[in-house]
Structure 1
Amino acid sequence: MEETKMKKIFVILTLVFVSANTFSETLYFKNCKEARSKGYKNIKKGEPGYAKHLDRDKDGIACESK
């Protein structure tokens, strides 16, 4: 019984992890104009949508507010 419960927890956590990684990897903006038009700005490194080409001053924040 305990083994079945652990397997279910493992499957759920795996799905959550895979879903989160898939989302962050597929959220891509060509430029900051596109990101802002979709409601994204001040995107921190590690957050969905962050990309080096959007971080002009290389401070870890992309598409900073003006």
Structure 2
Amino acid sequence: MKKLFVILTLAFVSANTFTETLYFKNCKEAKAKGYKNIKRGQPGYRPKLDRDKDGIACESK
């Protein structure tokens, strides 16, 4: 049980660290790195990149 707790804690910390550190200055940068249609809650999403406020940033056309 203790091992499971440690594994889950590490997974949670890793996921949060990744989410907080993935940052794009703009959609041009995001798309150049292969990111598009970034949904709210996913790494790299932020409201500034969501022009129409529908929960999807850097939408492909």
TM-score tier by shorter-chain length is: over 0.9
1:1-60 alpha-carbon deviations (Å, 9 max, x no partner): xxxxx1111001000010001101110000000000000000000111100000011000
The share of aligned pairs that are identical, in percent, is 84
1:26 to 10, 21, 26: 21
Letter in 2 for 1:19: S
Max Rg structure: 1
Which residue does 1:16 correspond to in 2?
Answer: 11
Structure-2-length-normalised TM-score? 0.97
Displaced runs of 4+ in structure 1, greater than 4 A?
none
Which residue does 1:61 correspond to in 2?
Answer: 56
Count of residues paired in the alignment: 61
Q: Distance in 2 between matches of 1:43 and 1:61?
A: 5
Stretches of structure 1 that go unaligned for 5 or more consecutive residues are 1-5
